Structure 1
């Protein structure tokens, strides 16, 4: 998998060098062309993890950026208006993440979103304690984190 990623980067840099245009958009276009070429060359191989993971990673990054912008707008609106819409709460979140890396990535993704903060991890590493500024329902909050963040993140990591 690392070999395909490095080859994809090499193809993207080759594209940038051949076109002579050093912009992010040109590099991303070269990366997409390289990804497609590598997929064509390796579509009969048994190990397809790279070609399955890259679209999931891109989807997760776009989803996370959307959630980040939405949360920033919500917090900014709450700060600007005279009435507070906050309903803070602390949630005991049972997680499926097992390794230190998975727990660290999950807690980082949760903490990066404005309005949420990871307070602690239980000693048995099965529960996260999360503070949320906008807590309508604990069950809804847990389901949202589980389905939208943790499930997608674990699909990429595992």
Structure 2
């Protein structure tokens, strides 16, 4: 379904003779609407997955910008006031792909680094530059990244 949606977006851009990003995005959205109106049966899961993926991408971009700004402010302060540490964050993810995505996203976020996953795959160890309140960091990770990755793989 995704490939068909991309092909519809490319067809729209070809018909309008404009291959710029706004036109491709509009073509993708238009193709999504056409597919939503015409597809019946078992292929309907695509229409719940695309909004989830878009929501997840928006969430991650927001967190990425927030983390960059926080780190820049911390570094530019006269007293950096860093309290680095390793925090164990419980995870309940359905498969290895979800765990891999979580670990990579944590590592991409400035100020955090995923160090290891427990052998039972129920805990991820994350190094953070601000471990002054481990419970708060654990809650932030579980309600943000872990919950959203889990929703993405359902």
> How does 1:1-158 map onto structure 2 within 5 Å?
4-42=1-39, 44-158=40-154
State the Cα distance separating 1:98 from its structure 2 match.
4.0
- Partners in 2 of 1:138 and 1:16 — Cα distance? 49
Q: What runs of 5+ residues in structure 1 fail to find an aligned partner?
A: none
1:74-110 deviation digits (Å, cap 9, x = unpaired): 1111112211132222111111024221111110111
- Partners in 1 of 2:81 and 2:57 — Cα distance? 28
State the Cα distance separating 1:48 from its structure 2 match.
2.1
- Partners in 2 of 1:118 and 1:82 — Cα distance? 28
Q: For structure 1, which segment, 121-130 or 29-38, has the greater mean C-alpha deviation from structure 2 after superposition?
A: 121-130
Q: What runs of 5+ residues in structure 2 fail to find an aligned partner?
A: none
Q: Aligned-pair RMSD on alpha carbons?
A: 1.4
TM-score, length-scaled by structure 2:
0.93
Aligned residues: 154
